[in-house]
Structures are given as C-alpha cells and as structure tokens.
Amino acid sequence: MYRPLTSNKNMKRIVLLLLLQFSIFNSQFSILKADEGMWMLNSIDQKTAKVMKKLGLELTPQQLYNPDGESLKDCVVDFCDFCSGVVVSPEGLVFTNHHCGFGGIQKLSTPEDDILKNGFAAKSYEEERPVDGFFVRFLDRTEECTERVMSAMNEIYKANPDKERKLLNAENLDSVMTAVEKEYTAANPGKYCLVKSYYTGNAYYASIYTVYNDIRLVFTPTQTLGKFGGDTDNWMWPRQTCDFSVFRIYADADGKPAEYSKDNVPLKAKRYAKVSLKGFQPGDYCMTVGYPGSTDRYLSSYGIRERVDGTNVSMIDVRGKKQEVWKRWMDSDRAIAIKYASKFASSANYWKNSIGMNKAVKELNVIGQKQKLEKDIRRWYSADKGLKARFGSMFNELEKAYANRFETIRAYGFFSETFLRGIELRRVAAILASKPADMDSTEIALTREQLQAFYKDYDARVDEETMAVLLDNYRKQVKPEFLPNIYKDIDERFKGNAKAYARALFSTAPVQLPEKDEELKLDGNLKQFYESIRDFQTELVNRIRADRQTINYNEHLLTQAILERDQENPHYSDANFTQRLSYGFIQDYTAGGQHYDYFTNAQSLLDKAAKQDEIEDYKLEESIISLLKQRDFGRYADAKDGDLHLCFLSNNDITGGNSGSPMFNGKGELIGLAFDGNWEAMSGDITFNPDLQRCIGVDIRFVLYLIDRWGKADRLIKEIGL
C-alpha cells in the first residue's frame, strides 16, 4: 500500500489508490498497452489477472507468487546481485546469461586451461567447478513496511519540529531503514533481509531471502558464441548471440545453505521451470520475471538533462579512452586478454548504453515530453489551494538546485570515471589505507587475500599507460577549480608530463603482492596520490550535499504529485533490484523506415560469421560453423519453418539486472533468457516507448541445441527433462 512521507489530509485520496500495484483498472484499461511496467508479484489482484489472462496467461496470481507454498517466483533467482537466473531442474541447475557468468568463467580460466575461449562442459558432478564469490538468492516473501519506516520518521519529525523535513529525511532515513532490516533479520534467523525504498521514497518494502553461496560452473559455450557480435552488436537488433551459461546450486546434506565443501550436494529445488520446445509466434503471451536494477521513470526534466549532459558524457568520454588502451594490450597478449576480459565487458556495456541513451533522449524528445507533463502538473496543483501549498515550490527548487550543482556534478562524473573507475592502482592504495599500521596476523592474512584477488586480474603496464592517458584527458575536460592537488605536483616536478608522473609513481608502488609483511603499507608517491584523490572526492561530495538533499526531497514530491494526479491508472515503482514481473507478448517492430522481424535464424549467424575477417566481433570457430551448416536441428527446429531460431523479441519492459531473466509463455514454461534491449529505445530507463522498446532474448531451443549438439552434454538434457 502506498503512503506519502508527508502527513497531509489531501493525500488520503491516493492512499487506497495505487497502489496495490496493479489495482484500479478502469473500463478502458484493457485496450491500453499491456507491455509497460515492472510489477511486484505480491500485489496482483483479480482485475489485473483478467488482463493478463486475456493476453494468454494460464496461471493464477497465487501460482505466480505464494509465500506459503510453491509458485513461479521460487524458480527465479537473484544471481550474484547483478543479474537474474532461473532454476531448470530438480537438482538445482541454473540458467543465466553468459555475460552474467562471465566474471566467474574468467576467474576459472588460465592460458593453459582457457575455458573462457574454448567453452566448458562438466561431464559429472565431480567436474563442476566452484566459483569463488558467486551466490544466488531465492525470494521467500515480500512484506510492506511503510508504516514502520514512517512511524519512526514521524517520531524524528516531532523531536525536531524546527528542522526541515528534507534535511531530516537525508540524515535519518538510512538509519531507520537499517533498524527495520535488523528487526526482520532478528525475526528471520538465517535469512537475508533487505528493506528498500519504492516510488521515490513514498513506500517501503522488506524482502526476505534464502542465500546459497556454493555455486559451481557446469557449462559455458565458447566466448565467440556467448559474446557473438561483441561491442558491434551490443544493444542492437538483429542478434545471434548465444548468451547463456549454466551453473548449479549446492547445499549441505539437509538442503540448507552452506559455504563450499566437497561434501555438499546439489540442491533439491523447491520449484524449477519446465522448458518448452514448441516455439511461439507474434502475439503470443510472454513475461519476464527477474531483478531489474534501476530505472528513473519518475525523474524530472531537470534530472534527465543532468544525466544526459552531466553524467553520461563523462562515462562516454573516459571509458572510451580507457578501453582503447586496454584493447591494444588485450589484442597483443592472451594472458592480459583473460585478465581484463570481464572488466572490459563491464566497462564497455554501459559505455555504449550511455551513447545510445543520449541519442535516444534527443531523437525521441524525451525531455520535451517530460516538460509537457510538468506543465500539466503545474496546472493541476494551481487549481487547488491545498495542492499548491504542498507542490507549488517544487519545480522552482528542482530547477535551482540542479542548475547550482551542474558543473560540480559534471566534474564529479569525470573524476569518478578517471580516478575511481579508471586508474586501478588506487584500489591497492585503498586496501592498504583501510588497515591499521600495526596489523596483527589475522589482518595481514586478510590484506594479502584482498590484494591477491586484485592482482590476479591486473597488469601494471596496462594501468600505467591508462593513468597517463586519463590524467591528460581529465585536465582537458574540467575547469581548473576541479583539479586535485596531484596536478600541482605534475606541473612542478614533471613540467606537466603526465606520462613521467605515472612512471615515477609506478616505479615505487606495490604493483604485485609484496613478499614481506612489513611492506604491506601505504607510503611514498602512492600515498600522496591516494590522499589527494580521497580528499578531493570528499570536497566534491560536500559541494553537492545541500543541493542533493533539495533534489531528493523534491523529486520525492514530484512522484507524489504524479501518482495523486493520475490516480485512475495503476503505477509501478521504479526498478530497484527486487523481483519484478513484466508481461506482454512476442512482437517485431519498425524504426527509421526499417522493419525488423521478431526472430533470427541459423543462416543469419553464418552470414555474419562470413564477415569475420573484416569484423572481429563476428569470429566463430570453424567447428561451430560446420555444425550449423549441417542443418541437423532435430527437435530444436521451429515447427513452422524447420529452421533453428536463435534470438527473439518481445515487448516486455526490462533494464539492467534483468539479464538472465527467464522468459515464460502463458503456461509458465521457459522459452528464453532475456539478455539485451534495442538501440532505438535506449532511453528506456527514463521513459517507456511502446512502439520501439523491445526485450531481446536467446531462444531456449538455441541454448539446448548448443548444450546437446556442440557440448555433447546429454546428462544435462536428460536432467532438464527432455
């Protein structure tokens, strides 16, 4: 149930409205677009169920979400807190995307045993490889705790009657939410409990999870298949990427979560998804269930402009230059390519996302559309004295605060991408700076463990060149007032030569794990560099603190206004990496005068592979090309055309974090795994365009064909139930 942070009697009109998420459908809703929305599964009412049923869903709301029994939610997992996954067998077998498992596959790879490049198929449980740091979370249930959070905040308001609520919210909300989390944790021993904000701080829910930490790699295709198309095709359609990897959840003998042990056994799954080989056609029901990470659909026009011109530009510029350096080294040395594979993929993913978002925001006039909505809201509250008292200063304060901090936010974007995400040696300094000077044996061991994990995927030569390039670039991109003190050192000692500065720093810094314990300390040039960056970061954060409080509070009010003004229609909360459902159907699209079909086939993959001499991202092993040319697709062929379908489109509403989300048909059977969106609608995190926005998934038949025919993993095919 939605409740406002403000206690005003006018808000009573919308307390019942919203917000059982899907509730309050008027007679016209059935003709509206049914494809927008990231909905909480615990709030589906009968009216909503009818809409979904009309589209083709054969499951009831209780079959989707049942905290007291078995339901579809129980086979969908939070995969490592950055992706989604689905359990597909009684023995805890999990499908997710290749790019979700990429970091773990890379960790297990060496130049001598390059499973990242060559692929991997475990022939038995004993051959399945544990991945350090990987975990999955099963959602047990979701409970609203808005009243608990608001009651605590109201007590704080009463105790501080002279202080602005926006300041109290900024200072106290996190501690209140943490206190509520502790209550849930105490009441649910052994569980992971997390309280999160919904509707821009207008509602709060607690999610209770069961977490398994013994996760093992079972199967991965070659890198050429799992990342086919690479950066060339990323965020684009048509696609032929076989973006999947397979893991297994292990538990103790009683089926309880346990740290890795050779005595652990495959988890006996509470619920698993059945796969479908029947295929689908345009108009067929399709839904995703997963963990979308972050959207800003309620964001003001001022916030959108800041993101486009202040934040995205730094990501595009700095990551582009960093990736140029990295790629040169990766292309010249396979060992470096393995070390940097996961980092490069992660960096490049949202680098291209930011490029596409800025392009789409401009071409689709997203800011203009939001400004029109804001004019309508102004007219709405101006007609009512009570509403005007609550919302009348909201837009003026937003405009002023965003303008006031713009240059600092822009500089902070370049600072963050350069010094916090670009120059890797800073992380070594941060680890050493966090330790006491007189470390005991336990602290020494922990420090060595942290550094060893870092150095495993690090090359000082790459980082030194990256530092020199990024230091020069940062100076060019920001005003002199945003230069940290190290630039004074660069100018005075090295006559402005960033390359010479980097050489001096790296020549004395610990670029590999020190042999002696007494060398585990931060000193010299690295200490000077780290402290300068740390202190300047603090200065930048302090500069924007007051404006951030004003912005957060008034964005919160804007969401209230949107919900209250438009209370005849249901509203979903922005994504916040909690389990959500998106429903729609299989659908193609037309953009820029070009029509795109809803699926790709084997020949389209071969056609791209034929261009591999010109486009490196289209490289494919000859053994795979030969296999596809045989056209022996068997039961994995589409019944209508006899071809092997590779990837497909639906109009489901997804974002980052949905990677690996199962795509279900109306019976709740698995038909694919979501892995991307399309270029024409890259503004989707800010606004949903039903004509353009599409979810790209890998067809489960393509996945199983590769497991069966290329991987020869008959044991997995049988385990899945085929």
Please, are residues 604 and 240 in contact by the beta-carbon 8 Å criterion?
yes
Which residues does residue 594 pair with via DSSP β-bridges, in sequence order?
591
Residues 6+ away with beta carbon under 8 Å from 445: none
Q: What separation, in Å, do the N-terminal and C-terminal C-alpha atoms of the chain show?
A: 43
Which element (helix H / strand E) includes 208? strand 203-212
659 is catalytic: yes
Q: Residue 410 and residue 413: Cα distance in Å, rounded?
A: 5
DSSP code of residue 308: I
Q: Is the peptide bond before 221 cis (omega within 30 degrees of 0)?
A: no
Which element (helix H / strand E) includes 414? helix 394-415
- Reference 540, options 407, 434, 428; nearest CA is 407
The single residue of 314, 659, 661, 683 carrying the catalytic annotation is: 659
The Cα angle at residue 579 between residues 574 and 584, in degrees rounded to 5: 75
243 is catalytic: yes
Helix and strand numbers (H, E) in the chain are 25, 20
Structure tokens at 539: 């200065």
Q: Residue 55 and residue 58: Cα distance in Å, rounded?
A: 9
Cα Rg for the chain, rounded, in angstroms? 26
Q: Residue 585 and residue 587: Cα distance in Å, rounded?
A: 6
Structure tokens at 569: 């229609």
SS3 of residue 383 by DSSP: coil
Q: What is the DSSP string of 513-530?
A: --SSGGG-S--HHHHHHH
- Reference 85, options 676, 662, 675; nearest CA is 662
SS3 of residue 190 by DSSP: coil
Please, are residues 286 and 663 in contact by the beta-carbon 8 Å criterion?
yes
| Phi and psi angles of residue 372, each rounded to the nearest 5 degrees, phi first | -65, -45
Residue tagged 């951030």 (tokens)? 548
Q: Residue 85 and residue 79: Cα distance in Å, rounded?
A: 6
- Reference 342, options 457, 239, 257, 201; nearest CA is 457
- Reference 644, options 364, 305, 345, 279; nearest CA is 279
The single residue of 99, 556, 571, 645 carrying the catalytic annotation is: 99
382 is catalytic: no
Please, are residues 295 and 280 in contact by the beta-carbon 8 Å criterion?
no
- Secondary structure of 571-626 in HEC code, one letter for each residue: CCCCCCCCCEEEEEEECCEEECCEEECCEEEHHHHHHHHCCCCCCHHHCCCHHHHH
- Reference 217, options 260, 253, 273; nearest CA is 260
The single residue of 35, 214, 243, 284 carrying the catalytic annotation is: 243
Structure tokens at 292: 């979308």
Q: Which residues are catalytic?
A: 99, 243, 659
